[in-house]
Amino acid sequence: MTNLSVNVNKIAWLRNARNGDIPNLKQLCEVILGSGSSGITVHPRPDLRHITPKDVKDLATLTNKYSKELNIEGNPFSKKSSTYDGFIELIKIIKPTQCTLVPDMDNQITSDHGWDLTDDTSYLEECIDVIKGLGCRVSLFLDPQINQIEKAKKIGADRVELYTGPYAKAYELDNFNNRVLEDYKRACKRAIELELDVNAGHDLNLKNLKKFLTINEISEVSIGQALISDALIYGLENTIKKYLSLCG
């Protein structure tokens, strides 16, 4: 069984388009959690384009109420501003179940690559130590490359989250074959050998998720835009159930 964590950034993004409270993020997250999702994922950004620090604090309370997990994604290099706590400071306040560190720039539209851990990782290692000291599980967002996974273990990560954008793109091609999927299988196998749990996320959807999860060792998938888009067609509760059925 692979856990499903629902990324709710797009719900907040739609709400923010009118500077009001519709759709109501907390109310919809109650539906998500009540429908069987294992948790909520948020990726607060310094420009507050969707999830705000207040949202994160509210959702921490809500996930605790449901005894579910809160996964906060973000770049540990993001600094404090007049409207943003700074990523590490926010983690210190919230102490989520899981913290997924991603190498996004502040103005980046979405995550599109994993960390390059062949660079100097000294500050990243310090951040990992701080976050783990708070009692949070740390996952690093990585491309499916063996050398990166091995370095993730060395610098103290508990998990890796494999960036699945290339898999999703390949799946859409008429000539899709298993070569791309084999890269993920090898990466996952090496992570498990190193006693790293494996998460996955980005562009997974109702069409491509089942094939990807033939990799049986995936602990968790984080799905946002596709799931929220599907909810416009099927309804939120029914959409959660569709994804859960694929997670087996």
Q: Which residue range(s) make up the domain with 57? A: 3-247
pLDDT at 175: 58
- pLDDT confidence bin for 178, thresholds 50/70/90: confident
User: Of these residues, 43, 50, 69, 220, which one is catalytic?
Assistant: 43
User: Of these residues, 50, 69, 161, 202, which one is catalytic?
Assistant: 202
- pLDDT for 168 beyond 80: yes
Please compute Rg for the chain using Cα positions: 17
C-beta pairs of 179-185 under 8 Å, 24+ apart in sequence? 181/211, 181/212, 181/214, 181/215, 183/144, 184/144, 184/212, 184/215, 185/215
- pLDDT confidence bin for 111, thresholds 50/70/90: confident
User: Of these residues, 69, 73, 161, 220, which one is catalytic?
Assistant: 73
Query: Does 73 qualify as catalytic in the annotation?
Result: yes
pLDDT at 108: 67
Query: Does 50 qualify as catalytic in the annotation?
Result: no
Query: Does 113 qualify as catalytic in the annotation?
Result: no
Strand partners, 140: 101, 160
| Count of domains observed in the chain | 1
pLDDT tens column, 119-154: 899 999 999 999 999 999 999 999 999 999 999 999
pLDDT at 112: 74
Torsions phi, psi for 10 (to 5 deg): -70, -25
pTM of this structure: 0.94
CATH of the domain at 91: 3.20.20.70
